[in-house]
Amino acid sequence: MEREIIVAKEAGFCAGVRRAVQLANDTLEKEPNKALCSLGPLIHNPSVIEALAKKGMSVLSSSLDEKAISELPNNAKLLVRAHGVSKEQYELLRGHKLDILDGTCPHVIAIRRIIERAANDNEPIVILGDKGHAEVTGLMSFAKEGTVVSSVEEAASLNFDKPFTVVCQSTLDSSTFEAVVKEIQKNYPSAKIHNTRCQATEKRQKEALSLCDACDAMVVIGGIGSANSNRLAEICKSSGKATFFVTDPANWEPDELKPYRRIGVTAGASTPQSDIDLIIGKLKDLI
Ligand code: SF4
């Protein structure tokens, strides 16, 4: 069977991830005397983490306590990943006058500013997104009070007696955002809603859906711990098209794609081009 492989233009590293990885590589190259440590895995992709580890970067907990700080080497340089860290963590690190390299994505900083403005006005914050996700936890720490809402059901049970502001995790999908906002507006028509999904996410998810229309099957490449890659795979599945989520490109075999003629390929924001190229090569070799 003659196959066609269509690769999404928006597959792979977003600007925020590219910047964080570049910061790491530049530091490893230009400051070899520093012990570069990222606070949490820099990105959710094992091959990239492994490559950076080989160059000398180590991975610490995403939130250091006093004990962990006391055990840091004197030449430690701490890299904050694109998700950012909590307000308390910044204060603790700065209090110890540690050398910090801030890789927080500018888009995440823009969401943080909305939350800080609301906190100054004594307004609660609602963040639409995944409870426990590092970006969400970090953002929430800048609110005076607030809650995370992950579903329409949770939105229906909100109970506020004063004005509040709504933002969302940068990688939230548009259908969840719209459904949850609609529910909030039923009871709170004057809630201040900010659609803080980032452009990179918007374009990637839209393109994946149109690829689903054009293809017989979809391949989504991403780390197993990558929330945005998992969401991308869910979006493709929800279109009804056969979707294959590839989390280990080196060991993945494309045999299950044999019945399909037009195959779409996309990848999460933390997937390196080398993983995408590897999968394309395997699909091209499929007989
Ligand atoms: S997905 Fe968007 S907000 Fe998140 S790191 Fe990438 S560009 Fe920044």
Residue 130: predicted pLDDT? 94
Give 227's pLDDT tier (boundaries 50, 70, 90). confident
Closest atom of ligand 1 to 228 CA is 1
DSSP symbols for 129-152: S-TT-HHHHHHHTTSSSEEEE-SH
Which residues lie with the beta carbon below 6 Å from any ligand 1 atom? 14-17, 82, 105, 107-108, 170-171, 198, 200-201, 269
Buried b (16+ CB within 10 A) or exposed e, 153-181: ebbeebeeeeebbbbbbbbbbbebbeebb
Is 90 exceeded by the pLDDT of residue 189?
yes
Q: If you count them, how many residues does the chain have? A: 287
Out of 10, 71, 116, 135, the active site residue is 135
pLDDT at 1 over 90: no
3-state secondary structure of 106: helix
- Ligand 1 atom closest to the CA of 14, numbered from 1: 6
Q: Are 114 and 134 in contact (CB under 8 A)?
A: no
Q: Which helix (H) or strand (E) holds 15?
A: helix 15-30
Cα distance between residue 47 and residue 164, in whole Å: 41
Task: Please report the domains of the chain, with CATH numbers, ordered by start residue.
Answer: 4-13+202-284 (3.40.1010.20), 15-104 (3.40.50.11270), 107-193 (3.40.1010.20)
* Tokens read off for 252: 């993945």
The gap from C-alpha 117 to its chain's centroid, in whole angstroms, comes to 24
Report which residue type is found at 110: A
pLDDT of residue 44: 85
Q: What are the tens digits of pLDDT across the range 231-260?
A: 999 999 999 999 999 999 999 999 999 999
CA of 105 to the centre of ligand 1 (A): 6
pTM of the prediction? 0.90
pLDDT beyond 90 at 149: yes
Residues 6+ away with beta carbon under 8 Å from 258: 286
Q: How confident is the model at residue 11 (pLDDT cuts 50, 70, 90)?
A: very high
pLDDT above 90 covers a percentage of the chain that reads: 94
The answer to whether 107 and 170 are in contact (CB under 8 A) is yes
Q: Is 207 a catalytic residue?
A: no
| Cα 2 to ligand 1 centroid, rounded to whole Å | 37
**215 C-alpha to center of ligand 1: Å?**
27
Strand partners, 38: 59, 79
Separation between Cα atoms, residue 254 and residue 244, nearest integer Å: 9
Task: Give dist(CA 165, CA 179) in Å, integer.
Answer: 17
- Cβ burial of 3 (10 Å; 0-12, 13-18, 19+) is middle
Q: How confident is the model over 68-93, as a mean pLDDT? A: 96
The separation between the first and the last C-alpha atoms of the chain, rounded to the nearest angstrom, is: 8
Our CA dihedral for 199, 202, 208, 212, rounded to 10 degrees, sits at: -150
Mean model confidence pLDDT for the chain: 95
- Collapsed DSSP state (helix, strand, coil) of residue 173: coil
Confidence tier at 47 by pLDDT (50, 70, 90): confident
pLDDT at 236: 97
Q: Which residue has the higher pLDDT, 167 or 3?
A: 167
